[in-house]
Structure 1
Amino acid sequence: MKQAYFIFTILICLPLIGVFIFQNNNFDKELVLMYDELLFDFEKLAKTSLKPDQVLDKKIENTSEDENKKDENIKEKEEKIEFEVLPNKIHYNVPFTSQAPFRDWSYPWQEFCEEAAVLITMRYFDGRGIKDKDDANDALQEIMKWENENLGFYKDTTATTTMKIITDFYEYDNVELSHDTTIEKIKQELAKGNLIIIPTAGRNLENPYFTPPGPIYHNLVLVGYDNEKQIFYTNDPGIMSGKDFKYSYKNIIESIADWSYEKETIDKSRKVMIIVRGG
């Protein structure tokens, strides 16, 4: 009886609401649609055994689902914008050490660019920094010891092997080997707060401080970029003044080259980089 009375009341009120809406010259289309849907729902109610509150609950539930979908779509659009519109400049203050902390460029320090690049990167993400030359030198020796014990060598490691120092020695898994070594990809990763270790053909790098003719194979860390100047900021362990050393976009991209164990030299066709992420 109560249900019949409720339906009767609604059926009387709905036409009056409709007249009010359509007499208003500035009526909202969404309001009209809501009216049509409401009319449809209560017509359906009259033909079913559903209670009025059940119909209304379903309307609210459907509306919530639609709003959640809208929120998800907005979030997706915002994420796309985040990657499409990059900052003009990114520059992180990353700890630095030369691969030869005490300026001794004999072996093994002459071969420590990969180890130094990893050390620089990991000390940034673990927050410890590099205290002094002794701290840096001891850490480099520890990495070499691990390499000799677990790999059987330490000189001239490929990007894949260098990444193993991060995953196995440092037990840090938030790292990726990428073959997408475009300027845009590098900037995207840096904009996300990541650091990038790149293997290079050292003699292609435009670094006037290298002892001529420069290293055949060299690793360094990308710590930022500047669109206006068209440069990457790097921590280059190959020189004592390598903190925030600047290389042009073009020079970096053209110099990327991995080591080849088969050829026992660099392979310029192997364009790779190690992306190290925080957390």
Structure 2
Amino acid sequence: MFGRIKSRGVVFIVGIIFIVAVLIIIVKNYESSQEEDYSNEVEIQSDELFTLEDDSDEIIVDTPTIVLENVESDSNNQIAKNEKSIDEKNDTKILPEKILLKVPFVAQAPFGIWDEYHEEACEEASLIMLKYFLDGKDEITKKEMEAEIQKMIKFQIDKYGDYKDSSMEDVVQLAQDFYGI
């Protein structure tokens, strides 16, 4: 009995870690997709980008001066073909000490039935919670979670032949194939 409870606790912790990892991957992919690729040298002129104030726990971020040299024009001809300098004001930004994300949560066995399907559904449950979070939904019902888990398991069996023990790469692929994220 205690082994089963401990197993559920480990699955819960792994699920939370998984959600955080997937969020980081998605944010990094989003950030990199938003950056324009000039395929040129960028020089950051600042010796100290981040400073920690001694009197507080706040992190101060100084925006550096950026110099772009010999930048070729892009396909929309938005950047001239000469040396450009961008002098940004040294704005000081205070970063929060912590950020709280309200991710809707329901266990991978919403009705407490820990059968073979639900023992192996931590990745699916994590993706479902991530999808609801990205869609701006504050909660997910047990009934909705169970239905989504069953649809996702069926999808994986039909498309991949199995649904158990997914690697991070498998989970990213599932997120793209099943939800388009």
- Name the TM-score, length of structure 2 as normaliser: 0.49
Question: Which one has the largest radius of gyration?
Answer: 1
Give 1 or 2: higher helix fraction: 1
- Name the TM-score, length of structure 1 as normaliser: 0.33
